[in-house]
Structure 1
Amino acid sequence: MTDRAKSYQERIREKLTAAFSPARLEVIDESDHHRGHGGWREGGETHFRVRIVAESFRGASRVEMHRLINRVLAEELAERVHALAIEASAP
């Protein structure tokens, strides 16, 4: 299955798993909470919350963790994902 055939939620989960091998990962589509607001589109998959715990974040600042995640998800953010709330930490 190509990335284009997968949901953005699946793509985000797969990319974060490959990049960080997280101990815990939740990818939550919160698009319905933003219906009618900026960036919202019919069909959802525009607003996500990511909760991730990964050893690779040890020693990184909050800003560094967010930059790493945003870099991994650059394609999704450029295409459809309007907002990404990130809760990241090391175990």
Structure 2
Amino acid sequence: MTLQEQIGQKLKALSPTVLEVENESHRHSVPPNSETHFKVTLVSREFDGLMPVKRHQQVYKLLADEMSGPVHALALHLYTPEEWEARGGERPDSPDCRGGGK
């Protein structure tokens, strides 16, 4: 199982209605086929009534092993179903890496 798949499996604990885990390592100065930079888009009722920092803490707790090891960067886009609908099902694009993209 790839690290990307492992992250997705662990995040299913939040009962997501939308879950996307994207490996963005290729956009950074890392060796080919790296799994170090990820973007997560997750929509869940588990986030109802929670401020963004509490949502992030839930994800970090689930991914503690990955965050203490192979994952260098994790962009989180965490929404309730209503927030996701209000956004039209869109999340922000990631900025270009300032030091990479090799």
Please give the range of the TM-score, normalised by the shorter of the 2 chains: 0.7 to 0.9
> Within the alignment, does 1:21 sit opposite 2:27 as a pair?
no
Structure 2, unmatched stretches of 5+, are 82-102
Q: TM-score, normalised by structure 2?
A: 0.75
Identity of aligned residues (%): 41
- Residue 44 (structure 1) shift: 1.1
| Whole-Å separation in 1 of the counterparts to 2:31 and 2:45 | 35
- Could you report, residue by residue, the CA deviation over 1:52-77 in whole angstroms, capped at 9, with x for unpaired residues? 00001100100100111011001011
| Whole-Å separation in 2 of the counterparts to 1:56 and 1:85 | 19
| Whole-Å separation in 2 of the counterparts to 1:41 and 1:81 | 14
Aligned length, in residue pairs = 81
Q: Which has the higher helix share?
A: 1
Structure 1, unmatched stretches of 5+, are 1-5
Identify the residue that residue 10 of structure 1 maps to in structure 2: 5
Does the 8 Å CA contact 2:26/2:33 hold for their aligned counterparts?
Answer: no
The higher radius of gyration belongs to: 2
